């Protein structure tokens, strides 16, 4: 009797495990790093699954960049590259970890997605303080604390080299679209949140064209301000100076990377270039933080969300309306959190499945449905030892009950 019961339990469990071979990904934690954005970070930590490359070459200089890159991939099988730097705090490693977690989580729920086809690269834009505190080395490029995400030239080691942070992005596109190494590359995605979204939105406008532009995508999530395309602002302020100067506008003051270009093709040329690029806006519908509080940013709106909505309204009001290459995702219930933005239903889809889901009519898709991921999982959050299938559902119910 007892043996028969145990045997049926054994059969039952065997049955369940046979049904559900896939385990959800165990989110790895962000490592703790000493130092901080003000006094400088003291190290770039090793990350499981990544190679920390400390001497990534940049054309035009003998100085180098530190980058994290997915380790051990067969480059001939890679079809997609995601470039994801950190934001204003320069805790770049944590963005590589977050993107890796989302990739592996996605792979754990979809057996036709091979995670080895997607390379994640995090360029580490450092400030002088990071070199001094120990995260950087003397031969590595460094910028001012905020100038890297404006596209300006490095402060060192050799400022005379005139290397823009945009030049670094150019070199990453050139690297991933090199057919000798990556014969099957289909998509290069710049994924930026907050300061990195500012960086990529401006890059999308000024990037010098190459034959690879149709494969380059820019995800712009919750930037603190935009490079505005027209002279008018939604919240005019006549006592605020230089509202239309770079980095807020296009009247003047463009960084060295694009001064030559700008004098040749002018404002209209830059705008039409931007409108033709694959730009994907993502706005957290709870992102009511003020972000940049300079008066120039405030003329674009008073919060991240308001600026985003105003920018999209500005695009729709252009003579040709919303550009067909641009998409908008509203991420319900999420505030200024990069992990919740990138892990939303919409951005998981863009990052790992189909980056440019525009409708056939050429009008951009504005999505509004999203599983609310912001509630119980708090970003750095961890381990779900849940397998899919019926046992998984049972355990989810139990765990879900406990976490309420």
Ligand X SMILES: *[C@@H]1O[C@H](CO)[C@@H](O)[C@H](O)[C@H]1NC(C)=O
Residues binding ligand X (CB under 6 A)? 27, 72, 105, 110, 112-114, 116, 174, 178, 180-181, 237, 239-240, 295, 298, 332-333, 343, 353, 371-375, 377, 381
Q: Considering beta carbons, is residue 274 or 352 the nearer one to ligand X?
A: 352
Q: Considering beta carbons, is residue 52 or 104 the nearer one to ligand X?
A: 104
Give the C-alpha separation, 271 to 281, whole Å.
17
Question: Please, are residues 41 and 149 in contact by the beta-carbon 8 Å criterion?
Answer: no
CB of 211 to ligand X, least distance (A): 12
Question: Please, are residues 275 and 324 in contact by the beta-carbon 8 Å criterion?
Answer: no
Say what the alpha-carbon torsion angle 263, 265, 268, 270 is, to the nearest 10 degrees.
-90
Q: Considering beta carbons, is residue 205 or 386 the nearer one to ligand X?
A: 386
- How far from 317 is each of 124, 138, 230, CA to CA, in Å? 37, 49, 10
CB of 75 to ligand X, least distance (A): 9
CB of 374 to ligand X, least distance (A): 5
Q: Could you please report the per-residue DSSP string of 179-228?
A: TTT-TT--EEEEEEETHHHHHHHHHHHHPPP-TTGGGEEEEEES-S----
Would you tell me the crossing angle of helices 195-206 and 165-176 to the nearest 10 degrees? 70
Looking at residue 229, what DSSP letter applies?
S
Q: Considering beta carbons, is residue 8 or 366 the nearer one to ligand X?
A: 366
Q: Considering beta carbons, is residue 128 or 213 the nearer one to ligand X?
A: 213
CB of 378 to ligand X, least distance (A): 8
* β pairing state of 50-57 and 64-70: antiparallel
User: Which residue's beta carbon is nearest to the bound ligand X?
Assistant: 333
Q: Considering beta carbons, is residue 181 or 313 the nearer one to ligand X?
A: 181
CB of 268 to ligand X, least distance (A): 28
Spatial CB neighbours of 82, under 8 Å, sequence gap ≥ 6: 99, 103, 118, 119, 120, 121, 189, 191, 351
CB of 372 to ligand X, least distance (A): 4
Q: Considering beta carbons, is residue 272 or 368 the nearer one to ligand X?
A: 368
* β pairing state of 35-36 and 216-221: unpaired
CB of 105 to ligand X, least distance (A): 6
CB of 380 to ligand X, least distance (A): 8
Q: How many CB atoms lie within 10 A of CB 133?
A: 18
Which residues, listed in sequence order, are joined to residue 255 by a DSSP beta bridge? none
Q: Considering beta carbons, is residue 216 or 315 the nearer one to ligand X?
A: 216
């Amino acid at each position: 009797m007892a043996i028969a019961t145990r045997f049926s339990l054994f059969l039952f469990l065997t049955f369940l495990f046979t049904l559900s071979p896939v385990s959800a990904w165990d989110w790895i934690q962000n490592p703790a790093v000493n130092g901080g954005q003000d006094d400088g970070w003291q190290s770039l930590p090793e990350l499981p699954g990544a190679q920390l490359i400390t001497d990534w070459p940049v054309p035009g200089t003998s100085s180098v960049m530190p980058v994290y890159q997915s380790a051990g991939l067969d480059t001939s099988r890679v079809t997609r590259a995601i470039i994801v730097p950190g934001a204003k705090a320069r805790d770049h490693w944590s963005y590589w970890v977050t993107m890796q977690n989302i990739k592996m989580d996605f792979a754990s729920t979809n057996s036709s997605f091979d995670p080895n086809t997607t390379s994640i690269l995090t360029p580490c834009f450092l400030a002088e303080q990071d070199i001094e505190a120990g995260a950087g080395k003397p031969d590595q490029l460094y910028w001012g604390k905020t100038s890297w995400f404006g596209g300006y030239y490095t402060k060192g080691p050799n400022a005379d080299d005139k290397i823009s942070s945009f030049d670094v992005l150019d070199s990453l596109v050139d690297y991933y679209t090199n057919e000798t190494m990556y014969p099957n590359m289909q998509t290069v995605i710049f994924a930026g949140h907050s300061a990195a979204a500012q960086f990529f939105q401006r890059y999308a406008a000024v990037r010098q064209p190459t034959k690879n532009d149709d494969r380059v995508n820019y995800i712009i999530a919750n930037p603190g301000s935009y490079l505005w395309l027209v002279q008018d602002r939604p919240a005019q302020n006549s006592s605020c100076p230089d509202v239309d100067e770079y980095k807020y506008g296009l009247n003047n003051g463009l960084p060295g990377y694009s001064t030559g270009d700008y004098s040749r093709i002018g404002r209209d040329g830059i705008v039409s270039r931007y409108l033709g690029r694959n730009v994907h806006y993502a706005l957290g519908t709870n992102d009511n933080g003020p972000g940049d509080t300079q008066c120039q940013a405030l003329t674009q709106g008073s919060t991240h969300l308001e600026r985003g909505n105003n920018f999209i309204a500005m695009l729709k009001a252009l003579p040709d309306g919303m550009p067909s290459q641009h998409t908008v995702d509203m991420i319900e219930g999420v505030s200024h959190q990069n992990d919740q933005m990138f892990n939303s239903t919409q951005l998981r889809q863009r990052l790992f499945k189909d980056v440019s889901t525009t409708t056939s009519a050429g009008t951009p898709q504005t999505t509004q449905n999203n599983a609310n991921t912001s509630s119980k999982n708090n970003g750095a959050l961890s381990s779900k030892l849940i397998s899919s299938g019926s046992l998984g559902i049972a355990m989810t119910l139990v765990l879900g009950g406990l976490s309420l």
